[in-house]
Amino acid sequence: MTAALALDGVTKRFGDTTAITDVSLALGQGEFVALLGASGCGKSTTLRILAGLDRPSEGQVLMQGRCVTRDSAAARNIALMFQSYALYPHLSVYQNIAMPLRLRHLSVAGRLPGAARFSGAVRRTREDIDAQVRRVAAMLRLEPLLARKPGQLSGGQQQRVALARALVRKPAAFLLDEPLSNLDTQLRADTRDELRALHRDTGHAFLIVTHDQSDALSMADRVAVMIAGRIEQIATPQQLFHTPATRAVAEFIGHHRMNILPQGPAAALHPAGKGLDLGVRPEDLRLQADGPLQAVVRSRAFHGEETILSLQDDRGTALRMVLRGGSALPLPGDSVRLTAPPEALHGFDACGLRQQVLS
Amino acid sequence: MIRAALTDLLLVGPAALAVVLFIFLPVGVVFGLAFTDYQVGAAQAEWVGGANFAQLFGSRLGRNALLNTLTYAAIVIPGSVGLGLLVALGLHGMATRLPRLSALLRAVYFLPVAATLVAMAVSWQMLLHPSLGLANTWLQALNLPGQQWLSDRGLVLYTLAGIGIWQSTGYNMVLFLAGLAAIPSTLYDAAAVDGADRGWTRFWSVTWPMLGPTTLFVMIVTAASAFRVFETVATMTAGGPAFASDTIVYALYREGFVYFKAGYAAAITVVFFLALLALTALQMLLVERRVHYR
């Protein structure tokens, strides 16, 4: 299958600094991909190159297998929803949504007020635009707001207007820059469901850029993890979580940062630890009276449904573990013994690449 | 309660008193004088009703000054606002590629604003001198006839308007530059994605509407200064030749401070004041609600 939108070996330099290095990424027809990375890792640059707002220094941008590297943003017909929404403040909600269609389908003369009175073609185009604007507005429940100006809307309403403006012209691909970052927790959860539903209903290819891994893991079919300008791994959320390809991904993904036991001392936990660094998620560590790992509790933090222990093992490595439930929690200063099931261990070689740990 | 009231009075009182004494009271006196034939230094004055206003609007000289001022403003307002915007757009676009040159040109365009207009008028007089001036030398180099810039009755007002544009363009440019810098770049990105990625479409769909508040402010400021034109007239032409460059404020100065006809000068002041007030109010009412997007 030809990808709806793809980057092939793209590098972007600004002066002496390299923002992204050798990025290849394919967005299949109707696929939902998330580009996940910490702020400043180059994900916005990647998005701007995909949209056609910036040109890559090296590499190519492909749409349906055709090279569009030199094409303008408008020529690519890619919709982009901005983090700040970037609505036109002087136009009503209706006019904001209609803008991409007016610019695309009406000439300068056709956009003049009253032009429909003189030309049948302009009138038909305008009726067509009107129908599409109302269809999208209905889909996003914006009908009661069509006459308002963006300044009179709440953040969530502005977000839906921005979505509507991006969706109205049946784009070849749909890019969203941090679509949820300006919303409060409740609205965030609702909007996640809504975006999923929108993706299902429209069938467009979606690419969402986010720094929030729960957004990425919960919504996307595939997640591309970007660290320091490079794509470290592209995989399904499950693969990413259970079999991270590199140590950097392993430490990045997960609500609690993964513990890494250095090669050597790690052998206490598993024989593979003689030659590999071993990672174990804080949720996978268990308290066990005869466990192979000895550690001292440094501090304890209660988080409602879970309690997080900070520990230090006898070789000085800082560890973290998550305990659920309130049964007999150790106190700071207590000495405890820990274990982890072999299938929960992640082995990484000296280059940080994943190696098999036999259980 | 009474203490608080006294404190308020003590804080507001002196400033309020000064404003009343030195602004409201004189304005009241001027409004009163406008209906008399008072002359500076005279022991008494007669109440003449609307005679002063009748003279301003009825006499050839009064109407001439009004018409000249309107003509001057009609040239200077669009001229310096348009030119200011054009220069600002150019320098703003240049700022990313040639930042040094852009900053230098910005200073150059702003010089006329910072310079004393009376001093500048002397240099203009030199430039526009019929036989020695640079302007005519260039015209001759192009095989065009030289002009009597300041002594041709048909030309003098346009010459002054040109100098007025030269003088206020820099100020308007600075205001427009500030307005341009305040436009969020994501709006241009959004327009580029929507299909307005260059030239006029981009200008009309983002730049011009976003500059609305700036443009309104620039228009009001320019209008106010254009209607007040005085220094260039006083130093370069003294309203001449044959009142061809007579303007309201210059007429006001002549009647009040040369002929000492305080009553008539007061009437001109009143008309001028009301006209400026009405103009500003009109611009605010008509344009404001279409500019601020709330």
**Each residue's pLDDT expressed in tens, for chain B with a length of 294 residues:** 788 889 998 999 899 999 999 999 998 988 888 888 887 777 787 788 777 888 878 888 888 888 999 999 999 999 999 999 999 999 988 888 888 898 898 888 888 888 888 888 888 888 888 888 888 888 888 888 777 778 878 888 898 999 899 989 989 999 999 999 989 888 988 888 888 777 788 888 889 988 988 888 898 889 888 888 888 888 888 877 878 888 888 988 888 888 888 888 888 889 888 888 888 788 778 766 666 665
Chain A CA closest to residue B185: A86
- Lowest-confidence region among A21-25, A49-53, A306-310, B152-156: B152-156
Is the pLDDT assigned to residue A46 strictly greater than 80? yes
| Structural domain total, chain B | 1
Instruction: Output the domain CATH number for residue B251.
Output: 1.10.3720.10
CB contact under 8 A, B293 and A90: yes
pLDDT at B137: 84
Q: Which residues of B touch A96 (CB under 8 A)?
A: none
Nearest by CB to residue A84, choosing from B186, B192, B201, is B186
How sure is the predictor about A270, in pLDDT bands with cuts at 50, 70 and 90?
confident
How sure is the predictor about A41, in pLDDT bands with cuts at 50, 70 and 90?
confident
Is the pLDDT assigned to residue A117 strictly greater than 80? no
What 3-state class would DSSP assign to A301? strand
Chain A CA closest to residue B293: A90
**Rounded distance between C-alpha atoms, residue B264 and residue B267, angstroms:** 5
Domains with residue ranges and CATH for chain A: 5-242 (3.40.50.300), 255-355 (2.40.50.140)
**Would residue B13 count as lying in a domain?**
no
**Would residue B11 count as lying in a domain?**
no
**Would residue B213 count as lying in a domain?**
yes
Chain B CA closest to residue A51: B193
**Would residue B26 count as lying in a domain?**
no
Mean pLDDT along residues A91-114:
82
**Nearest CA to CA, how far is A197 from chain B (Å)?**
24
Mean pLDDT along residues A160-177:
87
CB contact under 8 A, B194 and A82: no
- Which range marks the domain in which residue B209 is found? 60-291
Structure ipTM: 0.79
DSSP state of A63: E
**Would residue B1 count as lying in a domain?**
no
Please, what is the average pLDDT of chain A? 86
Calculate what percentage of chain A has a pLDDT beyond 90: 11
Q: Which of B166, B128, B125 is nearest to B147 (CA)?
A: B128
pLDDT at B86: 93
**Would residue B36 count as lying in a domain?**
no
**Would residue B158 count as lying in a domain?**
yes
> Which of A50, A90, A165 would best serve as a mutation to test chain B binding (most B beta carbons within 10 A)?
A90
Nearest by CB to residue B293, choosing from A53, A84, A89, is A89
Is the pLDDT assigned to residue A122 strictly greater than 90? no
